[in-house]
Amino acid sequence: MTNPNILELPQGVQLVYLAEGGANVIYRFVANPSKSSLVVRDPKRSVSSIVLDEHSTVPLWLRGKLLRLRKETAADISYKEINRNFNTIVRPLFKSDELVDQSLILLPHGLIQRCNEQLRAAEISGQRPKKRVGGYLCLDEPFGLLITDMTTFDEPGTTLAELKPKWLTQSPSAPPTAHRCRTCALREMKNHDARSIGLKEQRSFCPLDLVSECFEDILRATTFIKGCGDRARLARILLHNPVLQRLRAQQTSWSQVGLLGPPSHSQKTSLDMTLRDCTMFIKVPHDDKVPVEIRLGDLDLKTGAGGKSNYWRKLEVELIDGGWYSGFNTSQDPSECALQRPNTPITPDNPHFRLS
């Protein structure tokens, strides 16, 4: 018997592939389906569609939602557990309108198999991202997750900016005289490794700029924010932004990271690292009188199991011992980091270090 408290995805809805990561595939709900089983919306992105019923429409309660489906992965954490952790651990830390919400939904029989068939078809036609080829949805997962739709498909003129506000405070085990924050130190170490094998280097903002008291610092950061149209407007949105401030406060509270993190053999989940690897989505309407929508996503609890905790600690040791925090490594170029700029004192009184 079906649990009356769990939503059920009705037969007759059409799913269109939107995006995927290493552990999940995201689909949109659409009406008026084509008879074609493969639709290409953008030459840079393949869009696979599954036609379940030619007369399907999107029910009102599914509008404004996306469907997230779980891949087969080594971690093998069920959506029931992921959703329970989200509701009991993550949700209480933020306001409801600050999170990409999620809820369990029971899937129709055969849906996962058909989705996997479409993923394979997209591979054959060369339309699936190469790095995702060979990864398929978990056949033993009976549930999907309904999540808040932060796309702009049905909102002409609205832009969507995405960023990773990772370490909004310095790592507690960084050297006290560091000239790089944790994010910038790691990026520069990775760029050194990329150069050694002929790969492209990555450039990005310093996360300390996002929570700076100085508008020019935030404006500097917007140069590297994906989906950013009007940089000045986005910088004004981010200045003293309550979602960023709350995230920084939570990162400060949950600070068992770096060499202070759990031991390498720990099997427990780590909220501390989860809060440092979420994504911020910012929907900016064309009309500046319409409220901006800002939500945090990618907040599945990370686990230290499977060697991840040991990997996090190993990275911290490499950053310290390799001189990447200090900025004295001979392989380091001029940095975006707020801590290396001229006339910026590296002390706890620096505005970039303020925690409240």
Q: Which of 115, 148, 181 is the last residue of a domain?
A: 148
Average pLDDT score over residue span 259-266: 72
pLDDT of residue 59: 83
Q: Of 94, 119, 148, which closes a domain?
A: 148
Adjacent-strand bridge partners of 276:
none
* Domain match, 21 and 130 both: yes
Residue 104 lies in a domain: yes
- Of residues 303 and 225, the one with the higher pLDDT is 225
Residues 53 and 86 placed together within one structural domain of the fold: yes
> Looking at residue 325, what is its pLDDT?
95
Is the pLDDT confidence value at 239 over 50?
A: yes
Q: Tell me, yes or no, whether 35 and 64 share the same domain.
A: yes
What pLDDT was estimated at residue 38? 34
Mean pLDDT of the chain: 86
Q: Are 203 and 350 in contact (CB under 8 A)?
A: no
Domain of residue 48, residue span = 7-148
In a domain, 254, yes or no: yes
Q: Give the mean pLDDT of 306-333.
A: 86
In tens, the pLDDT along 9-36 reads 988 788 999 999 999 999 999 875 444 3
Cα 181 to the center of its chain, rounded Å: 20
Domain boundary among 124, 148, 172: 148
Kindly state the average pLDDT of the residues 39-66: 58
Please report, as a single letter, which amino acid is at residue 229. G
Asked whether residue 349 is assigned to any structural domain, the reply reads yes
- Using CA atoms, how far apart are residues 283 and 292, in angstroms rounded to an integer? 6
Highest mean pLDDT, choosing among 28-37, 277-286, 302-311 = 277-286
192 and 96, same structural domain?
no
CA-to-CA distance for 306 and 315, rounded, in angstroms? 16
The pLDDT score that the predictor gives to residue 322 is: 93
pLDDT at 76 over 70: yes
pLDDT at residue 1 is higher than 70: no
Q: Report the alpha-carbon distance of residue 132 to residue 46 in Å, rounded.
A: 12
Q: Are residues 227 and 283 in the same domain?
A: yes
Q: Specify whether 208 is located in the same domain as 302.
A: yes
Q: What is the CATH number of the domain that holds 98?
A: 3.30.200
Q: Distance between CA atoms of 197 and 155, rounded to whole angstroms?
A: 43
Same domain (yes/no): 199, 322:
yes
- Cα 300 to its chain centre, rounded Å, is 10
Are residues 128 and 171 part of one domain? Answer: no
Answer yes or no: do 131 and 167 share one domain.
no
**In this structure, are 70 and 48 located in the same domain?**
yes
Task: Identify the band that residue 329 occupies on the pLDDT scale cut at 50, 70 and 90.
Answer: confident
H runs (alpha helix) in 153-227: 182-196, 207-210, 215-222
Q: What is the pLDDT of residue 332?
A: 72
Q: Does residue 41 register a pLDDT over 90?
A: no
**Cα-Cα-Cα-Cα dihedral sign, residues 184, 354, 304, 94:** negative
Question: What is the identity of the amino acid at 192?
Answer: H
45 and 192, same domain (yes or no): no
Q: Are residues 144 and 167 in the same domain?
A: no
Do the domain assignments include residue 343? Answer: yes
User: Given the structure tokens 């620096």, which residue do they identify?
Assistant: 350
User: Number of folded domains in the chain?
Assistant: 2
For residues 235-247, give the mean pLDDT: 97
Q: Is residue 1 part of a domain?
A: no
Q: Round to whole Å and give the CA distance between 313 and 265.
A: 12
Percentage of the chain modeled with pLDDT above 90: 68
Cα torsion through 88, 90, 92, 97, rounded to 10: -130
Sign of CA dihedral 230, 232, 237, 239: positive
The pLDDT value recorded for residue 261 is 74
Report the first-to-last Cα separation within the chain, whole angstroms. 50
Residue 81 inside a domain? The answer is yes
Predicted confidence at residue 36, as pLDDT, reads 36
Q: Nearest-CA neighbor of 12 among 40, 39, 48, 50? A: 50
Q: Is residue 257 scored above 60 in pLDDT? A: yes
Residue 264 has pLDDT above 90, yes or no: no
Residue 2 maps to a domain = no
Find tokens 């280097």 and name the residue: 201
pLDDT tens profile 92-147:
999 999 999 999 999 999 999 999 999 999 999 999 999 999 999 999 999 999 99
pLDDT score for 214: 95
Tell whether 153 is covered by a domain: no
